[in-house]
Structure 1
Amino acid sequence: MKINQYNPTPLKAYSENRVRESADRTQSQSQTTAPSRDVVNVSSQARLLGAARQTATESSDVREQKVKELRDQVRAGTYKPDIRKTALNLVREEVDFLR
């Protein structure tokens, strides 16, 4: 018996077997995971918020100039809101809510 002689056949069979097992494992995983699906549940509050955002995005900015003027006033420190008018609007909204 020669010790220096190398026979690659047993090693080749082992490596081919590992490749087959890996391919079989990958195929079986893809078959078992394919039918399952992810499920997402959205609350009614989230749906309402999404609808509100979509409506706001689609609406035209009619008061864009007014908002720009107010933003400039706030940045300059010259914005002086009418506190009496704000209070009256808040009270009116509460009264309308109670009706």
Structure 2
Amino acid sequence: MAETMIDVEVVYAAVDRQVLLTVAVAPGCTVSEAVRLSGIADQFVGEDVLALPVGIYGKVVSDPHVRAVEEGDRIELYRPLLADPMEVRRLRAAKAAKNRQ
């Protein structure tokens, strides 16, 4: 009897584009395996997307080599931030306050 596959999504947003791929994997497949099997690394040549931190629906997965995926999971690859959002917000507020004077 053939093993039933489950579908998961793998998504990565680069600065200039984003890619969402659906991949069918075997039950028990780990997050890392699902990312590799999706082929998303082929979409971003020159970037080491397989080494990026990952999460499922916005929650970071601390050990993607152990955590098994579930049907319908959306695996997200997180690229490093170019700027600290808190600092950007603080600078924008200071600029707005200066312009009001």
Which TM class, normalised by the smaller chain length? under 0.3
The structure in which a higher percent of residues are helix is 1
The higher radius of gyration belongs to: 1
